Structure 1
Amino acid sequence: MLDVARLQLLAELRRYGTMGAVALAMSYSTSAVSQQLGKLEIEAGVALFERAGRGLRLTPAGERLADEADAVLEALERAESVLAVTPDDAGEVRLGVVPTLMWTAVPQLRTLLAAEHPSVRLSVSTFEPEEGVSRLLARRLDIMVTDEYRGLPRKRQSGLRREPLMRDAVTATLPRGVPADVDPRELDWVFEAQGSEAERWALSICREQGVEPNVRFYTPDLALQRHLVLSGLAAAFLPSVMRSDGDEYLPVPGFPSDLERQLYAAVRPGSGERGAVRATVTALRSTLNRLFA
């Protein structure tokens, strides 16, 4: 019988393309990954992967087996979910969030879970969306909270399900002290990390308004973006979760007033049926809408 842990390594090899990347994602050594995949090939009796430049790619037999591996792993998670159903939804939940939500929403989330689902054992880590989704696919997280900007949908990942949490209004925001009727072409801007989906979205919005933005700062930290706005150093696209502190924020003239992003929880279909995971997603939705909607 094929070993389930080795099947998971094969599925991760298809996702990451190198044994080193699989080792990093799964917290193994590269030699251990290589050894276990070699044993899987012996068990299967066929070649499962081959060299492709500096990486590896699965053979046709490896692709078929990786498909079955994903199905087996999902079925096992569903079985665990059935066994994990308890009257009080007890269980551990590993939650990943984008950094902004760690300090804006997580304290209230923990308070709500403690009151309504005290047997949920929550651990929280911060990740940028791409890394968090990779960890979710590698079964190192149970939930990843991430975002998607209107007009720039993220690539849908097979093996994941999205649970909508809230719509978050985004405003092109003037730096403090800048006249409200300023020409947007004269502004300095702060965008998210170069090459990120959020950066591409912001650039497209500016260009739709006939503005080629003068981007002076790049950072994925929305709190730092807000600080640059309040310091009068840069304009930024700030979501409502960053404009709920009581300060006054003025919109960039001529920019759309209906910009938004969707916050959602990504879960694997199997683990997403666990009572503790369902309770956490429901509490997340309630917390975010109570704070920011």
Structure 2
Amino acid sequence: MFELRRLRLLHELALRGTISDVARALSYSPSTVSQQLALLEREAGVALLEPDGRRLRLTAQGRLLAAHAARAIELDEAARAELSASQHAPARVRIAVMSTAAEALAPAALGLLAERMPSLRLEMVEMAPEEGLFELQAHAFDLVVAEQYPGHTRELRPGIERTLLGHDPVRLVVPLDSPATGLADLRDAAWAMEPEGAAVRRWAVQQCRAAGFEPDVRYEATDLTAHARLAATGHAAAMLPDLIWTGGRDAVRLLELPGSPVREIFAATRSSSRGGEAIEAVLTALRDALEAHRPR
């Protein structure tokens, strides 16, 4: 029989690509990971790894076993969840949330969960959606709160399910003294956007191009509150979702973007853990928190 812990290492290697990345993610030494994978090769009776320059890559048999490993890990997770539920044991749910959800949704959701399921231990890490969704597949988290913008659907990953929590309007944010009445009036403005490579950055640039200009992006920040402050102090224009406004927004003006776009806020979970009482409670609390959120 294959040892599940070793199968987990193979699964992680298939996701992360290098022994050192697997070791870092699981808090092992690289030598320990290598030794355990070598033992797994002996159990399998076939070569699972082969040299690729200075690195190792999975052989065809290694990829085949890694696919089975993913299913074995899912079955183990589902079995543990059912046993825990049958014993009414205290549950723990680990979530990764994007920055706006960490500020606007998490406190309200925690308050709801304290009333509805006081025995639940919720652990939260703020993380960009791209990284959080990857780590969800690697079993680092049980649930991830992420977003996607119109026309920019995030990658669909095997074994991952999505639950729509709600919609979040995205509006144009300008200083109070800006004479702009719409996006086309801001062709000469300085812009605050997320760094290159982020899905929202690509989406925002496309909005500007559709309006007939290339944005002058002078300020880059992953923290959207920084964008709001740059707009409030007269230094930049920005495109921001309503979820960011947990406090007052009297220092800026909000304008509608063409087509009044909204982003989807969704929660991603693994199919093997979906349906558990704790996961469902967290999903409901997040959905209720988003529904109750109203910009002041």
Is TM > 0.5 for Structure 1 vs Structure 2? Answer: yes
Q: Are the equivalent residues in 1 in contact too, given 2:193–2:201 (CA < 8 A)?
A: yes
CA 1:158 to 1:225, structure 2 compared with 1: closer, same or farther past 3 Å? same
The equivalent of 1:67 in structure 2 is 67
* Secondary structure at the counterpart of residue 233 of structure 1: coil
Distance 1:150 1:179 in 2: 27
Q: Counterparts in 2 of 1:62-101, with a 5 A limit?
A: 62-85=62-85, 90-101=90-101
Which of the numbers 195, 205, 208 marks the counterpart of 1:206?
208
What is the letter of the counterpart of residue 23 of structure 1? A
Q: Which residue of 2 aligns with 1:112?
A: 112
The 3-state SS of whatever aligns with 2:293 is helix
The secondary structure found in structure 2 opposite 1:212 is coil
- Give the superposition deviation at 1:54: 4.8
Which residue of the partner structure matches residue 154 of structure 1?
A: 154
Residue 253 of structure 2 corresponds to residue 250 of structure 1 = yes
Contact 1:170 1:239 in 2 (8 A): yes
Contact 2:41 2:47 in 1 (8 A): yes
Matched residue of 2:274: which SS?
helix
Displacement of 1:145: 0.6
Q: Say whether the 8 Å CA contact 2:224–2:240 is kept in structure 1.
A: yes
- Partners of 1:88 and 1:80 lie apart in 2 by 12
Which amino acid in 2 is paired with 1:26?
Answer: L
**Does the 8 Å CA contact 1:180/1:250 hold for their aligned counterparts?**
no
User: Shift in Å at residue 78 of structure 1?
Assistant: 1.3
**How far did residue 86 of structure 1 move?**
5.2
* 1:167-222: CA deviation from partner (whole Å, max 9, x where unpaired): 11111222332113482111110111211111111111111111200001111111
Question: Retained in 2: the 8 A contact 1:160–1:266?
Answer: yes
TM-score norm. by structure 2 comes to 0.92
Runs of 4+ in 1 over 6 A off after TM superposition: none
Further displaced range: 223-232 or 99-108: 99-108
1:287 to 261, 282, 289: 289
Q: Which residue of 1 aligns with 2:226?
A: 224
Change (3 A) 1:87 1:278: farther
Aligned Cα RMSD in Å?
Answer: 1.9
Structure 1 range deviating more: 51-60 or 169-178: 51-60
Rounded Cα–Cα distance in structure 1 between residues aligned with 2:42 and 2:243: 53
CA contact (8 A) 2:92 2:120 kept: yes
Is the partner of 1:250 in helix, strand or coil?
Answer: strand
Structure-2 separation of matches of 1:191 and 1:262: 19
Aligned residues: 292
Identity of aligned residues (%): 39
- C-alpha distance in 2 between matches for 1:54 and 1:188: 45
**Post-superposition CA distance 1:57-102 (Å, at most 9, x none):** 2111111111111111111111112112259784011111112222
Q: How does 1:3-82 map to 2 (within 5 A)?
A: 3-82=3-82
**Structure-2 separation of matches of 1:88 and 1:196:** 41
In structure 2, give the amino acid aligned to 1:2: F
State the match for 1:267 in structure 2: 269
Q: Which runs of 5+ in 1 are unaligned?
A: none
Match of 2:179 in 1: 179
Specify whether residues 245 and 86 from structure 1 end up closer, same or farther in structure 2 by C-alpha distance, changes over 3 A only.
farther
Structure 2 SS opposite 1:186: coil
Q: Distance in 2 between matches of 1:2 and 1:146?
A: 35
Counterparts of 1:204 and 1:30 in 2: how far apart (Å)?
43
**3-state DSSP class of the match of 1:65?**
helix
Contact 1:191–1:219 under 8 Å retained in 2: yes
Q: Is the 8 A contact 1:81 1:275 kept in 2?
A: no
Contact 1:172 1:237 (8 Å CA) reproduced: yes
Measure how far apart 1:246 and its partner are: 3.3
Work out whether residues 78 and 273 of structure 1, in 8 Å CA contact, stay in contact via their aligned partners in 2.
Answer: no
2:159–2:272 CA contact under 8 A, matched in 1: no
TM superposition shift of 1:244: 4.9
Say whether the 8 Å CA contact 1:90–1:276 is kept in structure 2: no
Structure 1 position 252, deviation (Å): 5.3
Task: Give the whole-Å Cα distance in 1 for the aligned partners of 2:163 and 2:49.
Answer: 34
Structure 1 pair 110–244 and aligned structure 2 pair: CA distance change class (3 A): closer
1:192 aligned to which of 191, 194, 200: 194
How far is 1:13 from its partner? 0.8
SS in 1 for 2:265: strand
SS in 2 for 1:271: coil
